[in-house]
């Protein structure tokens, strides 16, 4: 498609990246009664074909070790289940639900079992319904598992499982456009700051237009570093390749399969109709080129399938129906979100580094980003622990439940 030119030469907010995070932030800006500015969303490909958004498990969980991450997912659950209300009671907006088959974390050693126990305390204190299960209890509830090596399991069957992320994504974009947000297929190739280097004055598009802006939001997913570097800023985010497979089973399970996180790191979930979705990556996990979506076909045969067949013996006879490689926007610093303004370039904001749990965090992250950009402070959940300033300060967030 030919690059689209913006309708104006100046916008109050320019959002670089229009996938799930950029779409959430754009919509929440329009939903803030104190914001009446203009918003431009620039994305290289408005089909979003190769975005992390389109290569996702489309699941949410509350099983995090940090309280704020738990509460972020609780808001996501409420947002999804009450989408029409959040969308202003628009009768075109569909009623959505969460298929709460839960996440099943399996621990094969005492150290990880202790992590599950400690995390459950945090989750329960925040109001989650996480259950700890012995190997015998897991076997009784889910007879298809091989639990010979399992010490403990953890699962939550309330607001934890599959949801229609595509519907939410579509309605954020549709509603935002109707409220005046402009989306263009183009690419930001340069960012110009003022003489003091304390503020972004404009962005330059690939098609040549120079667009003045009041604020800039980096919502570039795995390309976050490239966007930040244009403003002379370093952010520790890189694309890491993640592989997914959809397969059918000769003997499908007779009950829903929780999103199972095997101790090996391979994960698999119910997909419906006798099919299942599985994900994993190689032991060697380097950063990859932004446009590298090549599939490593050897991983399935040598690593993933043997693990599946061992954990769930009914998966000995399965057939791959589709497979793809996608990218995590991997925060190499501490695997958690990077939000808020830059420490020196005051009108440059981050919405980056979600390391695989961005989709489920997108409602709260978009809302929080809109709040900090409009009000200079958070009105709902205090997201300040995720701010960029923790990185130069060396202040890591320890989240023990990163998949």
For the segment 131-173, what is each residue's pLDDT rounded down to a tens digit? 999 999 999 999 999 999 999 999 999 999 999 999 999 999 9
Distance CA 222, CA 390 (A): 20
pLDDT of the residue at 17:
97
pLDDT of the residue at 53:
74
User: Which of helix, strand or coil describes residue 259?
Assistant: strand
Sort 54 into a burial class: Cβ within 10 Å, 0-12 / 13-18 / 19+.
middle
CA distances (Å), origin 277, targets 39, 57, 285, 318, 323: 37, 8, 21, 12, 9
pLDDT of the residue at 217:
98
pLDDT of the residue at 222:
95
Q: pLDDT, tens digit, for every residue of 302-312? A: 999 999 999 99
Kindly list the averaged pLDDT for each block of 10 residues, start to end, along the chain of length 403. Answer: 90 97 98 98 90 80 96 98 96 97 98 97 97 98 98 98 96 98 98 98 98 98 97 97 96 97 96 94 89 93 96 97 94 97 98 92 98 98 98 95 78
pLDDT of the residue at 1:
58
pLDDT of the residue at 284:
82
Distance CA 392, CA 398 (A): 16
What's the whole-model pTM score? 0.96
pLDDT of the residue at 400:
87
Do 191 and 21 contact (CB within 8 A), yes or no?
no
pLDDT of the residue at 13:
98
């Amino acid at each position: 498609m030919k690059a689209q030119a913006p309708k104006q030469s100046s916008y109050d907010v320019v959002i670089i990246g229009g996938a799930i995070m950029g779409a959430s932030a754009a919509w929440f800006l329009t939903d803030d009664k104190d914001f009446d500015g203009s918003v431009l969303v620039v994305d290289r490909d408005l089909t979003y074909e190769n975005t992390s958004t389109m290569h996702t498990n489309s699941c949410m969980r509350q099983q995090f070790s940090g309280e704020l991450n738990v509460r972020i997912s609780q808001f996501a659950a409420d947002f999804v289940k009450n989408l029409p209300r959040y969308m202003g009671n628009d009768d075109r907006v569909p009623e959505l639900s969460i298929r709460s088959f839960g996440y099943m974390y399996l621990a094969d050693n005492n150290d990880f079992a202790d992590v599950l126990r400690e995390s459950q305390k945090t989750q329960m204190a925040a109001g989650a319904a996480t259950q700890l299960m012995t190997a015998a209890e897991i076997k009784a509830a889910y007879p298809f598992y091989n639990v010979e090596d399992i010490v403990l399991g953890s699962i939550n069957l309330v607001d934890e499982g599959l949801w229609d992320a595509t519907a939410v994504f579509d309605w954020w974009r549709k509603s935002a456009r109707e409220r005046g947000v402009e989306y263009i297929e183009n690419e930001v190739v340069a960012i110009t700051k003022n003489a003091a280097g304390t503020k972004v004055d404009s962005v330059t598009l690939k098609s040549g237009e120079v667009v003045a802006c009041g604020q800039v939001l980096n919502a570039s997913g795995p390309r976050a570093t490239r966007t930040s570097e244009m403003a002379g800023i370093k952010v520790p985010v890189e694309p890491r390749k993640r592989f997914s497979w959809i397969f059918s089973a000769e003997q499908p399970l007779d009950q829903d399969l929780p999103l199972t996180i095997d101790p090996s790191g391979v994960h698999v979930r119910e997909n419906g109709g006798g099919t299942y979705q599985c994900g994993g990556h190689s032991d060697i996990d380097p950063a990859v080129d932004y446009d590298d979506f090549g599939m490593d076909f050897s991983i399935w045969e040598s690593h993933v399938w043997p693990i599946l067949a061992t954990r769930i013996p009914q998966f000995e006879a399965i057939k791959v129906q589709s497979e793809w490689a996608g990218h995590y926007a991997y925060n190499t610093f501490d695997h958690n979100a990077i939000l808020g303004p830059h420490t020196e370039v005051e009108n440059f904001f981050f919405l980056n580094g979600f390391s695989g749990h961005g989709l489920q965090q997108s409602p709260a992250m978009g809302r929080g980003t809109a709040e900090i950009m409009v009000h200079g402070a958070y009105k709902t959940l205090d997201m300040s622990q995720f701010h960029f300033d923790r990185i130069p300060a060396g202040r890591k967030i320890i989240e023990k439940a990163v998949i």
